[in-house]
Structure 1
Amino acid sequence: MNVLIIYAHPNPKSFNHAVLEQVQKGLGESHHEVSVIDLYQEGFDPVLIFNEKRKRRDMKNDPEMARYRDLVKKADHYIFIYPVWWYGLPAILKGFFDRVFAAGFAYIYEGLVPKGLLTGKSAWVIYTIDSPGLFVRLVRGNVEWTVVKKAILQFCGIRPVKRMMLAGMKGSSARKRKRWLDTVYQQARQL
């Protein structure tokens, strides 16, 4: 299987980076073809610009995003790894969706009805969040998950989409983090 990892964390010594390493290790042992887009390391420009010269309708052909569109198109499965900040994804990852998952490439409208163009692909979303899981689900209503799953990935035709929320990062013990990393590794290996 061709797997594309989209990673969004600025600190190479972060727990998110440890998650990335475990995913890569597990996938490597399963002999998948793996590509990684490390948005911060690559200096990805998340700023979306369209004006008199750059029309929104032409974004699907933006030459700056051609490499990313090719990777997205070739992949059978996507893995997104990122922290949740302010109950949302990092701006750099939001900008990746804005610039790469453009109309005419990731989705179209048939009349007023949207149609995803990335069908036949699946995704695994792994994110860390400081808040406890119960608080995220009951008080915040999983807002950080709903947007990514439904408004972005499923909107573009990607199904199934599963998540691994590593909640309660703030104050989590070394033992708990080790268990999380072991689980990530095992699930990546079984993909």
Structure 2
Amino acid sequence: TWADHIIFIYPIWWSGMPAMLKGFIDRVFTAGFAYSYGKRGLIGHLQGKSAWIITTHNTPVFLTPFIQDYGKVLKNQVLKSCGIKPVTHTQLAGTENSSDEKRRRFLDKIANIAGSI
């Protein structure tokens, strides 16, 4: 409740988030705390908060728009439904075969964004 900005950093496994993160979400983002049911759908209780999702995966970047999850479920179905916005998403595709230079540039990008939070 005290955090204004929440950062999620995780690898994509089998097109989704790791089970441990899913379990965390199921236990923390609960009805009555993070949201409630209204006549027109969910009412988010976490307004005024923002989030940043950082993911890594091995899928080539040109295929990621066609994949079901890759951070989209957490962003759109969980966080936004609970009133958290804006939610930004930064991802490193092709992690396993990426060069050290590509990984270094990604970490530099993350550091620059984090420095502005």
Superposed, which structure 2 residues align to 1:81-160 within 5 Å? Answer: 81-111=9-39, 113-137=41-65, 139-140=66-67, 143-160=69-86
Give the structure 2 partner of residue 68 of structure 1: none
What letter matches 2:55 in structure 1?
Y
Indicate the RMSD between aligned Cα atoms, in angstroms. Answer: 1.1
1:81-105 deviation per Cα after TM superposition (whole angstroms, max 9, x unaligned): 0000011000000000101111000
Structure 1 residue 112: deviation in Å? 5.2
Match of 2:4 in 1: 76
Q: Structure 1: 5+ residue runs without aligned partners? A: 1-72
Question: Residue 108 of structure 1 contacts residue 114 of structure 1 at CA under 8 Å; is this kept in 2?
Answer: yes
Q: Which residue of 2 aligns with 1:169?
A: 95
Separation in 1, partners of 2:10, 2:102: 18
Q: Which runs of 5+ in 2 are unaligned?
A: none
1:129-174 deviations in whole A, cap 9, x for unaligned? 111111111x32x522221111010011000000101111020001
CA distance in 2 between partners of 1:157 and 1:149 (Å)? 11
Q: What is the SS of the residue equivalent to 2:109?
A: helix
Question: Aligned to 2:84, what secondary structure does the other structure show?
Answer: coil
TM superposition score normalised by structure 1: 0.59
Deviations 1:10-58 (A, max 9, x none): xxxxxxxxxxxxxxxxxxxxxxxxxxxxxxxxxxxxxxxxxxxxxxxxx
What amino acid is the match of 1:175? Answer: E
Distance 1:111 1:185 in 2: 42
The letter of the residue matching 2:82 is: C
How far apart, in 1, do the equivalents of 2:10 and 2:81 lie? 20
Identity of aligned residues (%): 48
1:164 is aligned with what amino acid? T
Contact 1:131 1:170 in 2 (8 A): no
Query: Which residues of 2 match residues 179-190 of structure 1 at below 5 A?
Result: 179-190=105-116
Number of residue pairs aligned between Structure 1 and Structure 2: 117
Larger radius of gyration: 1
